[in-house]
Structure 1
Amino acid sequence: MKTYIYILLSILLFISCGDYLDLYSRSAIPPEAVTEGDLPALRIGMYNFVQNKPGVRAYMMHDILGGGIQTNTGSARDLINTTLSPLNTYIQGGWDGYFNALYQVNTVVEVTDRFSSAQSQMIKGEALYFRAYIYFCLATRWGGVPILEKNTLEKVSRNSMEEVWAFIDRDLALATELLTDAPKSYYYVSKDAAIALRARAALSSGDYPNAAKYAESLITKGKYKLDSFDKIFRKRANDEIIFAFENRTEESSINISDLYYTYDHPNRGQGVYRPTDAVVALFADEDKRKEMTLVNIGGRITINKYESGQTGRDPVIISRIAELYLISAEAQGLGNGIGRLNELRIFRGLAPVSAANSQEYLDLILEERVRELIGENFMYHDYVRAGVAVEKLGILPHQVLHPIPGRELQNNPNLTPNPGY
């Protein structure tokens, strides 16, 4: 079966529907017909697929399942149980979206392998980063998933978690060799973005020495430093963001703000989700993050990190240096890591802390990660990888993984379901 790639997708986003219909048939071409002159359009199309195909709730799922946000009806626990179903629309949509994006990314890898220019190799580095990013998202939801280095129509089986972590690390190591250290802006993947993701993946896989090494390499580099939330989350020049997706149009599907802000806000919104009382209670008045993290709209507290409301033009931050402080603090452990934790706390207006033992220290780390990263999609995976999800969230042991969507199990008999579903 002939496969095609839509190399002009990025261009189509900025033209009228009539022009879209005129161009659509000419934008679908087989990968072997792509020329080196097509690479810039191919590149931007890849960014668009990776950003948008998983859907907006993919950027909220770890906060939903981590008990950080809930809907207006029912508890956070009810929302977790409702979501973790093989028939849930958002579970299926996330799975479909990530593999759809992976198809585009793999095609870019295939195309760039045919060229040797600096431009083509840089784009290949971006594609390898994105493939690692996609697999990180898949692994932290479904566990061991099929590793697809090339696009295929075969009914593939699942790989082990260990194999997926090794694949992610390999792609990021290759990406680091190919990527530039100085992109035009943090809306483009850089060598540092690959190192930041490598640190995150190392922490998740239990490779603490490398997690600390990669995190420290960025902290001590001098290029990044902790910055104020009003700069980070209001699209002002800042020294903290390493990589973010840029929402260029209102038609972008990644409109997180619309699901947080209510219609009472000047920018309007649906107000589907709000932070739980437990999250709100974590923020002391002296915490400099509080005002930009939480806002009272008509008597209701909601997440304030995304300001656009219905227009949906907020960047989606993937990596920033504060996360690297927390990775280093956790990976180094109580003896050496608490200094990094307290550096972050003091910068954010809080007093330093101490811990009597490793478990108490881990609790401090996880709590600080909520304060720093709520609304940025970390909570559920943080609790799962730390081994405390069942205790903290009141979930059943099998709910530390998402269910494989029922449709996928029907269509591919070589896939096995996650236990308990």
Structure 2
Amino acid sequence: MKKYFLIPIIITLLFAVSCDDQLERFPVDSLVEETAYQSVSDLEAGLRGAINSINRGGGTASLIAFNSIFTDNTRIGGNNGGQQLNLLNQILNSQTGDQGTWADRYNAINNFNRVLAGAAAITPGASETSAYNEVLAQCYAFRAYLHHDVLTYYSEDLLNGSALGVHYQNTVSTSDFPARATVAENLTEIDNDLTLAASLMPSSSTDKNFATQDFITFLRARVALYSGDYTTAISNANSLISSYSLANQAQYTAMFNGDTDTTEVIFKFDNVQGNNSNIAFNWIFTGTGGNFIEMSTELFGLFTTGDVRRTVNVDPASDPGANPPLLTIGKYPAGADTNYINDYKAMRLSEIYLIRAEAHARKAAPDFAAASADVNAVRTARFGSPQTTAAYTSLNEAITGIKAERRLELCYEGFRFVDLKRYRNILNQGIERDASDCAGGIPCSLPVSSEKFTFPIPQAEINANPNMTQNSGY
């Protein structure tokens, strides 16, 4: 990580320095944890800076863009002037590997590590113990969250514990030369961090803009599903489903159109002006109007009348009957904030239902009826009336149905590419775009065997670190 950590380290530490004792500080080039963090209040400021760094420089918004544009959920827009053509053409950037995800995630990880290192030198007072423990718990929880992101995009096979994973950065690093651990070793480290977080998280920590016990339970369910531990995925999903309710149609609309309802939200990034929080700019000119990327005609055709997801995901100014159709992505509208500042709902109960559905279908003794019931629960909530989803009769049929429902429910939330990667070996399918969505030379397909289902390790990292192994095909 040699080339990536220096700038974020300085930014995070400066964030934690208060003005009233600035003259007592060492010069900036001497700023270290022992001097940057001198109180629990300083640690809390550093934590806020570390959480903000998750979305700084692209971060989560870039992954949302990638998952929609690289796959079959979008097509070139009527106002495109060259924007995002590399992603539409499924070209990965080997220099940044891709979307800058490697650097963004490890930079953020190191920021949390800085707070943890600073906390080691502080002894909280009796009245500060709960706040101190919460800072530690937050750092461990987000460190696990970020490492799972990196593992998901840079490991070739999350179901193979012996496959190459990523380096688990659990100490402050500015100049080391780490090697990649295995997937199994990464999963153990993630579990260790979540266990630490759970042991330290105060019961009073319930703010959905931060990690909570439910955040930890949710992440355990997602990690377990992706890595093939279906019993654990179901157990954690059960816990959340017993405590939350799916949003009804009005609540679902308010959740996205105004950021005013959090009925089914377990965790969200509370985006504010100046924090690179404009998600809609991935597809539209939010300042002047117009689309350079639009919803694919195929995806639009899958939203049926009565499904509230159609009215939320398709901007009301769209004109499906135009030639070509005008299909503006409306999930992150100006209505939530006049400057398109939308909260990103990173963990929602509907995903948990679909996690449990998939785990039921993929476990050693499949329960296809339970899988179908969970998919039907989501559909019933979105249509506002009882729906009927036929029971699946095979793994292929179940995954086909769950994949289709995840596409509708989680579109433009950063899941489509990950799902296509996870399901390709079951369904023997890569990326297939409808012919109407690949006009103008845009490729209509990506083979199931393509190396592009795994991100390349950035070339700068390979050049700088003799211990770093590149993924196959690059």
Question: Structure 2: how far apart are the matches of 1:84 and 1:90?
Answer: 7
TM alignment of 1:102-181, pairs within 5 A: 102-114=109-121, 115=123, 117-143=129-155, 144-152=165-173, 153-181=175-203
Match of 1:86 among 70, 89, 94: 94
1:19 equivalent in structure 2: none
Match of 2:43 among 39, 43, 51: 39
Q: Is the 8 A contact 1:6 1:28 kept in 2?
A: no
Question: Structure 1: how far apart are the matches of 2:245 and 2:204?
Answer: 13
Q: Is the 8 A contact 1:131 1:171 kept in 2?
A: yes
Q: Is the 8 A contact 1:5 1:28 kept in 2?
A: no
Whether 1:351 and 2:391 are equivalent positions in the alignment is: no
Q: CA deviation at 1:415?
A: 1.0
Q: CA deviation at 1:92?
A: 5.6
Amino acid at match of 1:127: C
Helix, strand or coil at the partner of 2:352: helix
2:276 equivalent in structure 1: 253
Amino acid at match of 1:85: N
Deviations 1:324-368 (A, max 9, x none): 111111112213222121111111117321123221111110100
Match of 1:287 among 297, 300, 307: 307
Q: CA deviation at 1:237?
A: 2.9
Deviates more, 1:379-388 or 1:400-409: 379-388
TM alignment of 1:65-76, pairs within 5 A: 65-72=70-77
Helix, strand or coil at the partner of 1:62: helix
Q: TM-score by structure 1 length?
A: 0.87
For the pair shown, the structure with the greater C-alpha radius of gyration is 2
C-alpha distance 305-148 of structure 1, shift in aligned 2 (>3 A): same
Bigger relative contact order, structure 1 or 2, given CA contacts below 8 A and separation 6+? 2
Amino acid at match of 1:363: T
Q: CA deviation at 1:29?
A: 2.9
- Which 5+ residue runs of structure 2 have no aligned equivalent? 20-24, 156-164, 320-325, 362-367, 432-445
Amino acid at match of 2:196: L
Helix, strand or coil at the partner of 2:54: helix
Helix, strand or coil at the partner of 2:345: strand
Q: Is the 8 A contact 1:105 1:127 kept in 2?
A: yes
Whether 1:101 and 2:101 are equivalent positions in the alignment is: no
Match of 1:64 among 65, 69, 72: 69
1:230 equivalent in structure 2: 253
Question: Structure 2: how far apart are the matches of 1:184 and 1:172?
Answer: 16
2:333 equivalent in structure 1: 307
2:22 equivalent in structure 1: none
- Identify the structure with the greater helix proportion: 1
Amino acid at match of 2:51: Y
Deviations 1:139-172 (A, max 9, x none): 1111111111112211111111222222222212
C-alpha distance 381-158 of structure 1, shift in aligned 2 (>3 A): same
Q: Is the 8 A contact 2:67 2:414 kept in 1?
A: yes
Q: CA deviation at 1:53?
A: 4.2
Match of 1:278 among 282, 298, 301: 298
Amino acid at match of 1:287: D
Q: CA deviation at 1:138?
A: 0.5
Helix, strand or coil at the partner of 1:311: coil
Question: Structure 2: how far apart are the matches of 1:192 and 1:28?
Answer: 39
Q: TM-score by structure 2 length?
A: 0.78
Question: Structure 2: how far apart are the matches of 1:398 and 1:151?
Answer: 32
Aligned residues: 407
Deviations 1:170-204 (A, max 9, x none): 21222122224443631122110111111111100
- Which 5+ residue runs of structure 1 have no aligned equivalent? 16-22
1:243 equivalent in structure 2: 267
Amino acid at match of 1:289: R
1:30 equivalent in structure 2: 32
C-alpha distance 273-129 of structure 1, shift in aligned 2 (>3 A): farther
C-alpha distance 28-287 of structure 1, shift in aligned 2 (>3 A): farther
**Identity fraction in percent:** 25
C-alpha distance 24-183 of structure 1, shift in aligned 2 (>3 A): farther
Helix, strand or coil at the partner of 2:430: helix
Q: CA deviation at 1:5?
A: 6.5
Q: CA deviation at 1:298?
A: 5.4
Helix, strand or coil at the partner of 1:318: strand
1:406 equivalent in structure 2: 459
Question: Structure 1: how far apart are the matches of 2:219 and 2:421?
Answer: 18
1:335 equivalent in structure 2: 369
Helix, strand or coil at the partner of 1:108: helix
Helix, strand or coil at the partner of 2:305: coil
Amino acid at match of 2:117: E
Question: Structure 2: how far apart are the matches of 1:290 and 1:24?
Answer: 56
Question: Structure 1: how far apart are the matches of 2:296 and 2:53?
Answer: 32
Q: CA deviation at 1:78?
A: 7.0
Q: CA deviation at 1:69?
A: 2.5
1:206 equivalent in structure 2: 228
Helix, strand or coil at the partner of 2:104: helix
Q: CA deviation at 1:210?
A: 0.4
Q: CA deviation at 1:134?
A: 0.8
Question: Structure 2: how far apart are the matches of 1:28 and 1:66?
Answer: 46
Whether 1:9 and 2:15 are equivalent positions in the alignment is: yes
Question: Structure 1: how far apart are the matches of 2:97 and 2:281?
Answer: 17
Q: Is the 8 A contact 1:8 1:45 kept in 2?
A: no
Helix, strand or coil at the partner of 2:315: strand
